[in-house]
Structure 1
Amino acid sequence: MQRRRGKDLENALLEAAWAELAERGYAAFTLEAVAKRAGTSTPVMYRRWANKTVMVQAAIAHASSQRVIDIPDTGTLRGDLIAIMQAANASRTDLLVATAILLDGYFSETGSNPDQLREQILAGRRSAAETIVQRAVQREEVDASLLEPRLISLAFDLFRHEVLMTLKPVSNEAIERIVDGIALPLLTRQAPPEARGGPSAS
């Protein structure tokens, strides 16, 4: 067995866990197999992760952290949305597909769902969607009074849905349809005059 300690050992275990999950799925996933793949002992695993569920959560969070996307700042809401979806195509599509296909048993066993898992991984951090839309508010492209959580995440939810329906990256044409045909018209609409305190049309 390789003699690794601390963060080096933990990273090796998490990478081995993700590899096991990607190859075998949740149903066949075991801490013993992860230990063998990582070249360490089972007690080492259980000192860090009490059970299979906790180990899988940590492995997914680790895989996600290896695919962090720098949030673009193109100067426009449209440019930011398109740029981040194109970046996600290159670095995160495999993660979305893998978790959708491989984790059915996990969601049944834990009584959770993909959205709850995503919230666990984010751990209170602001999402890319929130950052991009907030910048658009500051540029006065978006009226903050019309925003609500589902609208902020709409473009990203549609992107994820496209990936999960096709199990492959989203085409540039589909990305532009999501942004230009759905997200932008809703995000950049203006409140009616009476809602802004102005005179209403007679």
Structure 2
Amino acid sequence: MAEKTRRRGAALEEAILGAAVDELTESGYAGLTMDKVATRAGTNKNAIYRRWPNRLALGIAAYRQLTTTVQPPDTGALRDDALEWLRQANRYWGSPLGAILRELLSAAGGTAELLAQLQDQSGDAAAAPWLTILGRAVARGEAAPEALHPRVATVAMVLLRNEFVVRGVPAAPDDVLVEIVDEVYLPLVRSRGGRRLV
């Protein structure tokens, strides 16, 4: 019987992450166990625990392997860009990957350090596309320059996430997205600095 080649370093880490991704996509976070990942990766649990201290950390690392960067829309109008970006987020949260993200967020229980590891939950990653959208709007004269602040830029997404939490559903009705943009976001970014832009 031939002896198995022992993997180390990056090769072993890649095998573990690949196994975790497969388990996560097949069974969700609820079905992700260190035993299953170790078996699938052809290693032992100690090798996993040396790299990820717990199941949640491994789940987050695997989820990050599944995500891709999406460019924010550029329709030429702030309202249309903001609505489209919210609609994309709404579709994502209702997708199978969104279900995994919701499970991970629930398991993290608001732990800031773990939440920051989630690509689209970290402050910089969440704010960047909104700041891009808003920056274009400022250049076109649709928003006040003072609105270019991460907390202001991301308020529409925060309100959408609040819908998911309060209502306990993975997607919000489109009229809620329109209301967030028209009744809160646009008035906020247009009136920063004490003056309202037309």
Tell me: CA distance 1:149–1:23, structure 2 relative to 1, closer, same or farther (3 Å): closer
Segment of structure 1 superposing worse, 87-96 or 183-192: 87-96
**Following superposition of structure 1 onto structure 2, how do residues 83-122 of structure 1 map, counting pairs within 5 Å?**
83-94=84-95, 95-107=97-109, 112-113=111-112, 116-122=113-119
Superposed displacement of residue 80, structure 1: 0.7
Higher relative helix content = 2
Tell me: CA distance 1:101–1:13, structure 2 relative to 1, closer, same or farther (3 Å): closer
8 A contact 2:134–2:153 mirrored in 1: yes
Q: 1:73 is matched with which residue? A: 74
State the AA in 2 paired with 1:85.
L
Separation (CA, whole Å) in 1 of partners of 2:22 and 2:108: 18
> What is the identity percentage for the equivalent residue pairs of Structure 1 and Structure 2?
27
Separation (CA, whole Å) in 1 of partners of 2:85 and 2:91: 10
State the AA in 1 paired with 2:191.
R
- TM-score by structure 1 length? 0.70
- TM-score by structure 2 length? 0.71
Separation (CA, whole Å) in 2 of partners of 1:192 and 1:104: 39
8 A contact 2:57–2:114 mirrored in 1: no
Q: 1:40 is matched with which residue? A: 42
1:15 aligns with 2:18: no
Separation (CA, whole Å) in 1 of partners of 2:172 and 2:102: 16
Q: 1:189 is matched with which residue? A: 191
Question: What number of residue pairs does the alignment pair up?
Answer: 181
Segment of structure 1 superposing worse, 77-86 or 158-167: 158-167
Superposed displacement of residue 135, structure 1: 1.7
8 A contact 1:97–1:163 mirrored in 2: no
Superposition RMSD in Å: 3.3
